[in-house]
Amino acid sequence: MTEQTAQKKVDELNHEQVAEYLRAHPDFFVGQDDLLRSLTLPHDSGQAISLVERQVHLFREQRDALRREMVELVSIARHNDRLFEKSKRLLLQVIEAKTINDMAAAVDDSMRGDFGLDAASVLLFTDNAQGTSASRGQGALHLVDRSEAQRRLGTLLEGDRAVCGHFNEHERSFLFPDRDEPIASVALMPLRHQGLVGVFAVGSCQPGYFDQNMGSLFLGYISDTLSRLLPPMLRQHDAAAPVADLATETGRV
């Protein structure tokens, strides 16, 4: 093979073919000390460096990237651990609550205190909100008419997962009634167990606190528990209310 023919074959090779060959033969440079010494690569400083030096530089960059990723993962794990402990305390209080008022107070105190949020609201849907003794709302708990909730919240009630983001003023005022300071960001979880029974909403006055990419695993655990415990407690509350009203009337006589 003449020098001209060899040069022609080299010219026919493109960068991808050379790279593919080196990937298939990672030991190609073993024993090629002269070739290694003749290869140079541009550095950020503008100076040429050897292939070995370039490899060391890349390995260091990879090590630093992995170290940063590890630090971030540890930080996320610690954050999740704190959320778990807060959620655990709340769920125990909810399970141990004797009345629906105690449960509503536990939710409100935990969301504002432990979780540092500005508002919490549990809306239970009923077909007769005006005629129910708890319709005025108690703490974080509010009974609302089912058709009115459907009209005000619409498609927000259709999913099974949390919806996070910037709700419009019409929706926020319905979820958090009687608030002097407006809520800017909301996370809403459907209370759904054998049918939709209501919604659990938390809010922050800080815009963008909740966004569509926010993880809502722990809020989901809380809403799943409330979905199962609140309806029977509400029935118990409503059954006891007429007796309490009768006792009040009797004491006035």
Q: Is residue 145 part of a domain?
A: yes
Distance CA 159, CA 31 (A): 64
Domain count, the chain: 1
pLDDT value, residue 224 = 84
What was the pLDDT predicted at 134?
Answer: 38
The verdict on residue 72 lying in a domain is no
How many whole angstroms separate alpha carbon 122 and alpha carbon 143? 8
Q: Is residue 57 part of a domain?
A: no
Q: What's the CATH code of the domain at 161?
A: 3.30.450.40
Are the CB atoms for 114 and 106 separated by under 8 Å?
no
* Cross-strand partners of 142: 123
At residue 67, the pLDDT reads 93
- Least confident range of 26-30, 66-70, 120-124, 186-190: 26-30
Q: Residue 31 above 60 pLDDT?
A: yes
Reported confidence tier of residue 250, pLDDT bands at 50, 70, 90? very low
pLDDT score recorded for residue 48 = 55
Q: pLDDT digits over 122-135, tens only?
A: 888 877 655 443 34
3-state secondary structure the chain: CCHHHHHHHHHHCCHHHHHHHHHHCCCCCCCCHHHHHHCCEECCCCCEECHHHHHHHHHHHHHHHHHHHHHHHHHHHHHHHHHHHHHHHHHHHHHHCCCHHHHHHHHHHHHHHCCCCCEEEEEEEECCCCCCCCCCCECCEEEEEHHHHHHHHHHHHCCCCCEEECCCHHHHHHHCCCCCCCCCEEEEEEEECCCEEEEEEEEECCCCCCCCCCCCHHHHHHHHHHHHHHHHHHHHHHHHHHHHHHHHHHHHC
Lowest mean per-residue pLDDT among 177-181, 201-205, 247-251: 247-251
Residues 103, 112, 190, 138, CA torsion sign: positive
Residues 47-76 have pLDDT tens digits of 555 666 767 777 888 899 999 999 999 988
Note whether residue 45 is domain-resident.
no
pLDDT at 252: 46
- Over 80: is that where the pLDDT of 40 sits? no
- For 233, the domain range is 99-239
- Per-residue pLDDT tens over the stretch 214-247: 567 788 888 888 888 887 777 776 676 544 443 3
- Residue 85, domain member (yes or no): no
Q: Does 173 map to a domain?
A: yes
What local confidence, expressed as pLDDT, does residue 71 receive?
92
Residue 58 lies in a domain: no
One-letter amino acid at 143 equals L
Token look-up 């997962």 returns 161
Q: Is residue 78 part of a domain?
A: no
pLDDT at 166: 78
Task: Measure the CA–CA gap between 112 and 105, rounded to whole angstroms.
Answer: 11
102: nearest Cα among 90, 113, 112:
90
